[in-house]
Homo-oligomer: A and B are copies of this chain.
């Protein structure tokens, strides 16, 4: 990686939690400059404008969340354990795996009406998230862990939705109790499909 790319990456990493916490509109380029201790001109050497940085930051946050989930799933052995691991990563919205909370929710809600490129990135991530869940189940069915009748696409959607809804509930509540409820229900639903 060249010096330039390193700096660019450095900026993205410092900017990522700020944008995810404060929001896109409320984050000023000067916030990024302060966080990176870089000069004004320097930042604009690496990014054409704020929007270009935002797009990279959205990607970065999404990948960070993805890697946390992948890592947790990777450590699990069975399909069921993988699903449990997925849920577990997102079980404490007040102490989220990605600083600022779920980037799909944060950027999705800010971008849905006004920022098509960001919206598309979130859309993609949302689809991938559901696919990851569905794939785990499909593999579980193939390996004889789960009933072959399980509608994995449907479950992926409701599991994903429940978890995201749980993020909202818990973050505004300031505690994670409702996420436990959701986690319990999901565990039960998954257990029911075990063979």
Task: Report, nearest first, the 8 A-B pairs whose CB atoms are least far apart.
Answer: A161-B165, A164-B165, A25-B26, A165-B165, A25-B25, A123-B172, A109-B109, A112-B171
Contact: A114 with B22, CB < 8 Å? yes
Expressed in whole angstroms, the minimum distance between the Cβ of A87 and any Cβ of chain B is: 13
Expressed in whole angstroms, the minimum distance between the Cβ of A148 and any Cβ of chain B is: 19
Expressed in whole angstroms, the minimum distance between the Cβ of A186 and any Cβ of chain B is: 9
Chain B residues with CB below 8 A from A110, complex form:
23, 26, 109-110
Is A106 located at the chain interface by the 8 A CB criterion?
A: yes
In chain A between 109 and 126, which residues have their CB closer than 8 angstroms to a CB of chain B?
A: 109-114, 119-120, 122-123, 126
Chain B residues with CB below 8 A from A181, complex form:
153-154, 157-158
Contact mask for chain A residues 154-170; partner B; CB cutoff 8 A; 1 contact, 0 none? 10011011111110110
In chain A between 58 and 107, which residues have their CB closer than 8 angstroms to a CB of chain B?
A: 100-101, 104-106
Contact: A168 with B158, CB < 8 Å? no
Contact: A23 with B25, CB < 8 Å? yes
So how many copies of this chain end up in the complex? 4
Q: Which of B113, B126, B153 contacts A173 (CB 8 A)?
A: B126
Is A35 located at the chain interface by the 8 A CB criterion?
A: no
Interface extent on A, as a size class?
35 or more
Is A21 located at the chain interface by the 8 A CB criterion?
A: yes
Expressed in whole angstroms, the minimum distance between the Cβ of A5 and any Cβ of chain B is: 17
Chain B residues with CB below 8 A from A21, complex form:
113-114
Contact: B161 with A108, CB < 8 Å? no
Is A178 located at the chain interface by the 8 A CB criterion?
A: yes
